[in-house]
């Protein structure tokens, strides 16, 4: 091998069959990215989550026709030993993020390690938005240049836009100027001009072009959604969504920050991943609408502080450690070309402002969509994502906070948790007498009891929100979250890791094993819901109130949450169920509003500056408030509006 060249080996992934030659020393996870194979991973390749298990099918050293236990991979690491026992080791199991390639290998990716194509629940909500776009189109017919009229082409256009539409002090984007002479002549001096903020010409098209398009983008930690809108009517022409391609670098915000800090080109990789992703999304949306990607002349973007920084190619390390200062709070207008976005090159991308901590542009999007600052009633807005964001207040005052719910509600850190993909249990009920479970699975019509092939694979967020209230109401766990003992059901059993409850038996699954909720899963859900509740409670104390008048549940899966389950789980203090609303992806709605109404952009900066951020971790009694909130529904607080449900439970248990 010539010096300076790295040896490459042949790697095949099964069952997809994807294959290619990979540099010696790359991990199987890196190889999977290169070959387009999606393998789960929550910890950002730290070897701490164990979700990227794969099985080596071929690639063992052979000697005299006998396979050795030594494979064409680096030896098992300490990190791997936590997840892979000797029995599994004999079967060839490895963590893809740890095993390095040292020879040709065939790798099998088991069902549970595959990332399913997520069902993205980010459909656009019907809203009435006053259409007042930032980019407007103007059609003009120019007088031809003559020897007596020596005006430059730009001055000619400028004069016409002034006399016809009263536009003054216009400038022209430099790349647009480059082709101006050719464009004005192509259709006999008739052109349609796109003007940004009535200030700058960002596009020139020959002839009359009536339609203008903009794209509102919501960059979630897990999901990216794009709403292609008609800038004249305000209508959503098409909605497209995709997994955030950064997911392969870490499932949550903190693991992506860690990936940035521990990989030399970490920021570059993640920035390029999201930019490529948005370009793909824009391309798909454009194709749906039968336009070109370059016809998109405006874009707005929301995302939490970390997504915001990664999208902008700003190192997020400083927002990852105290005192968490972001690079910028204010909104930004950046040329699409400076961001690498392949929409109309002169277009500006408007990035909504961020608040503080991880309360980012996505929450500002929620704010301008819900406008609590125009309400009299005291509202609590909960945006459930990988990070929980809370807003409390009304027109008098607004405060916000973020709490580390962890990814439990997104299906991570739960033994059989998964994303909202086909096979996910999205809704479940436990019979209070028989303790039998019935559930619904994404991709199947009706309840499991009515189906022949259920093929459940795991439990997604809305199912996870159901499970604790159901276990509690059926008397399977007590109010501290502990499993009860000696219940007359085979579903509750004790393993070496403690008790667990069987949601469904292996025969109804596609993974060939029972899907269970373990004691640890219960704890993780309690931690998530406790953090949310504690945050809400501390905020109420800040405002000196003890009663919520209205609760708004937002989030990519917000509209699918059973609001009674959410109330019973006590994601938030007591509130009349009549006044609880699930609004879906309010952050995406906010991006859409900012796209369609220029005034709302000023409003966004205004409210982002005015809202007061509460840092929960500096509250002296936070731990106490938090631990009390982990009880079901709470250690001390009462829930007058849930009395009928809880009383019913008390009866059954009694």
Residues between 563 and 622 with contacts to a second copy, criterion CB under 8 A: 613, 615, 618
Rounded to a whole number of angstroms, the minimum distance from the CB of residue 311 to a second copy is 12
Q: Choose which of 92, 326, 411, 481 interacts with a second copy (CB under 8 A).
A: 326
Tokens of 376: 């009299």
Question: Distance (Å, rounded) from C-alpha 19 to C-alpha 394?
Answer: 56
Place of tokens 């995302």: 303
CB under 8 A: which stretch of 38-46, 108-116, 146-154, 204-212 binds a second copy?
146-154
DSSP state of 273: H
**Degrees, nearest 5: CA angle 416-420-423:** 65
64 binds a second copy (CB under 8 A): no
Chain CA centroid to CA 350, Å:
19
Helix (H) or strand (E) holding 455: none
261 binds a second copy (CB under 8 A): no
| Strand-pair partners of 94 | 54
Q: Choose which of 159, 334, 502, 543 interacts with a second copy (CB under 8 A).
A: 334
Q: SS3 of 261, please?
A: helix
What does the radius of gyration of the chain's CA atoms come to, in whole angstroms? 28
Tokens of 598: 């220029």
Ramachandran angles phi, psi of 57, nearest 5°:
-95, -35
Rounded to a whole number of angstroms, the minimum distance from the CB of residue 334 to a second copy is 5
Q: Choose which of 13, 60, 93, 154 interacts with a second copy (CB under 8 A).
A: 154
149 binds a second copy (CB under 8 A): yes
Rounded to a whole number of angstroms, the minimum distance from the CB of residue 603 to a second copy is 18
Q: Choose which of 129, 209, 328, 451 interacts with a second copy (CB under 8 A).
A: 328
Rounded to a whole number of angstroms, the minimum distance from the CB of residue 297 to a second copy is 19
Question: Distance (Å, rounded) from C-alpha 551 to C-alpha 382?
Answer: 8
Smaller CB distance to a second copy: residue 202 or 424?
202
Rounded to a whole number of angstroms, the minimum distance from the CB of residue 299 to a second copy is 14
Smaller CB distance to a second copy: residue 356 or 587?
356
385 binds a second copy (CB under 8 A): no
323 binds a second copy (CB under 8 A): yes
Please say whether the dihedral angle defined by the alpha carbons of residues 279, 280, 281 and 283, taken in this order, is positive or negative: positive
320 binds a second copy (CB under 8 A): no
Rounded to a whole number of angstroms, the minimum distance from the CB of residue 82 to a second copy is 34
Question: Distance (Å, rounded) from C-alpha 616 to C-alpha 384?
Answer: 17
Smaller CB distance to a second copy: residue 151 or 487?
151
| Strand-pair partners of 518 | 500
Contact 117, 241 (CB under 8 A): no
Question: Distance (Å, rounded) from C-alpha 124 to C-alpha 240?
Answer: 10
Count residues contacting a second copy (CB under 8 A)?
44
CB under 8 A: which stretch of 159-167, 308-316, 408-416, 557-565 binds a second copy?
308-316
Place of tokens 């991973």: 41
CB under 8 A: which stretch of 151-159, 372-380, 503-511, 524-532 binds a second copy?
151-159
Alpha helices by DSSP H, listed for 78-230, are 78-81, 86-91, 153-165, 174-178, 180-186
315 binds a second copy (CB under 8 A): yes
Q: Choose which of 291, 314, 511, 646 interacts with a second copy (CB under 8 A).
A: 314
| Strand-pair partners of 456 | 509
Rounded to a whole number of angstroms, the minimum distance from the CB of residue 149 to a second copy is 8
Rounded to a whole number of angstroms, the minimum distance from the CB of residue 569 to a second copy is 31
Among residues 430, 517, 439, 425, the alpha carbon closest in space to that of 473 is found at 430
Rounded to a whole number of angstroms, the minimum distance from the CB of residue 504 to a second copy is 46
Rounded to a whole number of angstroms, the minimum distance from the CB of residue 264 to a second copy is 15
Q: Could you tell me what percentage of the chain is helix, strand and coil, using 3-state DSSP and rounding each to the nearest 5?
A: 35, 25, 40
Q: Which residues are at the interface with a second copy (CB under 8 A)? A: 145-147, 149-156, 172, 174-175, 177-178, 180-182, 312-315, 318, 322-330, 332, 334-335, 338-339, 354, 356-357, 613, 615, 618
């Amino acid at each position: 091998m010539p010096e300076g060249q790295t040896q490459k080996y042949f790697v095949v992934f099964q069952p997809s069959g994807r294959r290619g030659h990979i540099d010696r020393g790359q991990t199987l996870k890196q190889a999977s990215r290169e070959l387009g194979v999606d393998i789960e991973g929550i910890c950002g390749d730290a070897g701490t989550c164990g979700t990227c298990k794969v099985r080596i099918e071929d690639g063992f050293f052979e000697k005299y026709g006998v396979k050795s236990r030594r494979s064409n991979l680096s030896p098992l690491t300490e990190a791997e030993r936590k997840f892979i026992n000797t029995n599994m080791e004999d079967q060839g199991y490895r963590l893809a993020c740890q095993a390095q390639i040292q020879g040709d290998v065939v790798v099998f990716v088991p069902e549970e390690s595959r990332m399913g194509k997520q069902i993205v629940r980010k459909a656009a909500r019907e809203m009435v938005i006053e259409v007042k776009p930032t980019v407007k189109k103007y059609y003009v017919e120019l007088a031809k240049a003559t020897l007596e009229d020596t005006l430059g082409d730009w001055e000619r256009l400028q004069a016409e836009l002034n006399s016809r539409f009263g536009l003054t002090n216009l400038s022209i984007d430099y790349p647009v100027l480059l082709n101006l002479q050719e464009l004005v002549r192509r259709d006999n001096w008739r052109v349609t001009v796109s003007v940004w903020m009535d200030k700058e010409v960002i596009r020139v098209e020959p002839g009359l072009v009536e339609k203008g398009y903009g794209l509102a983008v919501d960059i979630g930690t897990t999901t990216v959604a794009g709403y292609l809108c008609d800038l004249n009517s305000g209508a959503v022409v098409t909605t497209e969504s995709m997994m955030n391609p950064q997911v392969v670098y870490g499932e949550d915000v903190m693991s992506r920050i860690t990936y940035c800090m521990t990989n030399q080109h970490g920021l570059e990789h993640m920035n390029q991943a999201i930019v490529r992703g948005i370009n793909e999304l824009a391309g798909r949306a454009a194709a749906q609408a039968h336009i070109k990607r370059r016809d998109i002349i405006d874009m707005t973007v929301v995302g939490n502080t970390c997504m915001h920084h990664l999208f902008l190619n700003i190192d997020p390390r400083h927002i990852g450690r105290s005192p968490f200062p972001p690079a910028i709070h204010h909104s930004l207008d950046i040329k699409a070309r400076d961001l690498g976005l392949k929409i109309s090159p002169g277009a500006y991308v408007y990035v909504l402002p961020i608040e503080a901590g991880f309360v980012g542009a996505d929450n500002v999007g929620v704010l301008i969509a819900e406008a609590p600052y125009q309400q009299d009633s005291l509202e609590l807005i909960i945006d459930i994502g990988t990070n929980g964001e809370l807003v409390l207040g009304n027109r008098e005052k607004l405060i916000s906070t973020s709490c580390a719910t962890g990814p439990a509600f997104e299906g991570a850190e739960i033994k059989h948790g998964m994303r909202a993909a086909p096979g996910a249990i999205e809704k479940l009920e436990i019979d209070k007498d028989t303790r039998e479970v019935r559930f619904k699975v994404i991709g199947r019509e009706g309840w499991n009891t009515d189906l022949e092939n259920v093929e459940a694979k795991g439990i997604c967020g809305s199912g996870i929100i159901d499970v604790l209230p159901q276990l509690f109401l059926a008397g399977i766990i007590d109010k501290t979250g502990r499993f009860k003992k000696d219940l007359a059901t085979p579903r509750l059993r004790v393993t070496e890791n403690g008790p667990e409850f069987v949601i469904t038996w292996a025969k109804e699954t596609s993974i060939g094993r029972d899907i269970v909720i373990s004691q640890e899963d219960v704890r993780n859900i309690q931690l998530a819901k406790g953090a949310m509740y504690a945050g809400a409670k501390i905020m109420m104390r800040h405002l000196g109130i003890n009663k919520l008048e209205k609760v708004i549940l937002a989030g990519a899966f917000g509209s699918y949450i059973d609001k009674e389950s959410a109330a019973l789980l006590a994601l938030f203090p007591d509130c009349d169920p009549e006044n609880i609303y699930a609004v879906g992806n309010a952050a995406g709605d906010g991006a859409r509003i900012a796209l369609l109404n220029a005034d709302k952009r000023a409003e966004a900066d205004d409210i982002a500056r005015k809202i007061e951020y509460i840092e929960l971790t500096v509250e002296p009694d936070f731990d106490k408030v938090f631990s009390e909130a982990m009880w079901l529904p709470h250690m001390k607080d009462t829930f007058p509006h849930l009395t009928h449900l809880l009383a019913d439970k008390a009866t059954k248990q009694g």
